Structure 1
Amino acid sequence: MAQTLALLQTLKRCLKAQGKTYRDVASALDLTEASVKRLFAEQSFSLQRLEQVCQMLDMELSDLFRQMEAQQAQLQQLTLEQEKEITDDLVLLLITVCVLNHWTLADIVDFYTIPVHDCIQKLAWLDRNKIIDLLPKNKIKLKVAANFAWRENGPIQGFFQAKIANEYFNSQFNAENEKLIVLNGMLSKTSNLEMQRKLKRLAREFEELNQEDANLDFNERHGTTAILAVRGWNYGLFKPLIK
């Protein structure tokens, strides 16, 4: 399933590069647009349909596999030591998050009170650790894969959980760019696992939107953090009433 997901993500990037949409794919496959969206969401493309979409893009299926392999060769995760070093340096952490969200050097120094020299030093660290290529005129080229993620239960994930949780939820969530939904129910183990699968799919869709919006002007993009979670949990408020 992981290879299927990677292949379809590569196909989406190829479609985007040629300005093609789900509607174009639907026309090529003689399906409805909703059916095409379902094929991507459920990762249920047949080999024949993949070949048809590749033909629409003037590609061979082998070209699609080569592009997928090239993408997978990119960095998907940092080492434990790298994450520790980043969390020990707040400025490095800030700049790392910025470049992963496609900020330029000019964006960073215009938005934050970080001297250009200090910023370049941190970018050089990212370059030495093969997270970016620091190009002439301090242009930044990301070397991470589309599915790059922090280590599960690693230093950076732990840092954000410890430092940001209270600040994040200190809101009424009633602004136009905010939404908080709290659900409570009784799920079986199977349903809980299905819910986790859906959360992972939503996370992938968030990252795809983030990648698409990277081409927009900096002023059209706004820092956005989504927290997706599900767990077995009983409200502490009710614990005194449990037999």
Structure 2
Amino acid sequence: MSTTADLVQALKHELKTARMTYADLAERLGMAESSVKRMLAKGDMPLSRVDAICRALKTDFAELARRVAESQPLLKELTLEQERAVVRDKKLLLCAICVLSQWTADQIVKAYRISETECIGCMAQLDRIGIIELRPLNRYRLKLAKTFRWRPHGPVMAFFREHVVLDYYAGGFDGPAEGLLLVHGEISRSLAPSFLDRLQRVAQDFAQQHQADQKQGTRDREGYTLLLGMRNWEFAAFAQLRRPDRASTVRTTA
């Protein structure tokens, strides 16, 4: 949530952009310049005063509030409690995954057996959790950074490991534009991070292409799930066959 300090900071930014001094603002408000400085320094003012300042700046409170909201830092990760709230309800989790893909409420309702009322309710919950900022007409602003990820050992990833991973890998990966790569090898520890960087860039390219292709008709698009991973790992059954003097150094990329 935005704080009073954020609102005051936004007002100061608007004054600077408008090249309006405290003296100019004081004159338009019918106040002493010292009173205006003290008011903005303390951030102690009624909403009627904020409205008056907005009028002096030729803007309105709704526009100012929008700018304050958009200036808030985007989330790179949710808290444990936020993730628990997401996985508590499958329909809420579904809506969370959909908004991460920038689906509209109408698209969600048309694609899944979820009513408009249920969808709006889920979006209201996602707003309270902090994933989106719900706006009029069921539009929203995603409050997650491009580098956002679910907590590696959090509730959401635990849910996916238990219920989703086997379902995903049960496919043959032999359809159009499908594939599954499993590469084993030992590489320099100093170079390993560069491979992870490449995987992250591929994921970002995929996400950006998804955004760009929203302009195309639904008949020209197909749903794909890209799953990338890299870890220092060896299959447990193989590790049991290791000689005692040979530590596992196999890195696996999938």
| Residue 104 (structure 2) aligns with | 104
Shift of the 72–161 alpha-carbon distance from structure 1 to 2, 3 Å rule, reads: farther
CA 1:162–1:136 in 2, change beyond 3 Å: closer, same or farther? Answer: same
1:76 paired to 2:60: no
C-alpha displacement of 1:189: 1.7
- Match of residue 147 from structure 2: 147
CA distance 1:216–1:153, shift in 2 (3 Å): farther
Q: Is this contact kept in 2: 1:173–1:180, CA < 8 A?
A: yes
The change in CA–CA distance for 1:95 and 1:219 in structure 2 (over 3 A counts) is farther
**TM-score for the superposition, normalised by structure 2:** 0.60
Q: Could you tell me how far 1:92 is from its partner in structure 2?
A: 0.3
TM-score, normalised by the number of residues in structure 1: 0.63
Q: 1:86: Cα distance to partner?
A: 0.5
CA distance in 2, matches of 1:214, 1:153: 32
Q: What's the offset of the Cα at 1:225? A: 1.5
Contact 1:101 1:214 in 2 (8 A): no
**Where does residue 205 of structure 1 map in the other structure?**
205
Q: From the CA coordinates, give the structure whose radius of gyration is larger.
A: 2
Secondary structure of the structure 2 residue equivalent to 1:231: strand
Residue aligned with 1:184, SS = strand
Preserved CA contact (<8 Å) 1:71 1:145? no
The alpha-carbon deviation at position 223 of structure 1 amounts to 2.6
- For structure 1, the residue ranges without an aligned partner over 5 or more in a row are 1-69
Q: How many Å separate the matches in 1 of 2:152 and 2:241? A: 35
Aligned to 1:119: 119
Amino acid at match of 1:242: R
**CA RMSD after TM alignment:** 2.3
Mean Cα displacement is larger for which, 127-136 or 103-112?
Answer: 127-136
Identity %: 36
User: Is 1:128 paired with 2:128?
Assistant: yes
Change (3 A) 1:239 1:124: closer
Give, as a single letter, the amino acid of the residue that structure 2 aligns with 1:189. R
Secondary structure of 1:141 counterpart: strand
Q: What is the alpha-carbon distance in structure 2 between the residues aligned to residue 214 and residue 72 of structure 1? A: 26
3-state SS, counterpart of residue 93 of structure 2: helix
The structural deviation recorded for 1:134 is: 2.6
Tell me if the contact between 1:78 and 1:151 (Cα under 8 Å) persists in the aligned partners. Answer: yes
Amino acid at match of 1:212: A
Cα distance change on mapping 1:146 and 1:188 into 2, 3 Å: closer
Change (3 A) 1:71 1:220: farther
Task: Say which SS state the counterpart of residue 141 (structure 2) adopts.
Answer: strand
2:133 aligns to what SS in structure 1? strand
**Which string of whole-angstrom CA distances, capped at 9 and with x for unpartnered residues, describes residues 99-118 of structure 1?**
11111111111111112211
Letter in 1 for 2:169: F
Q: Which residue of structure 1 aligns with residue 4 of structure 2?
A: none
Give 1:160-199 correspondences, 5 Å limit: 160-199=160-199
- After superposition, the Cα gap between the structure-2 partners of 1:235 and 1:147, relative to the gap in structure 1 and judged at 3 Å, is closer
Q: Which runs of 4+ in 1 moved over 4 A?
A: none
Q: Which amino acid aligns with 2:149?
A: A
Contact 1:86 1:92 in 2 (8 A): yes
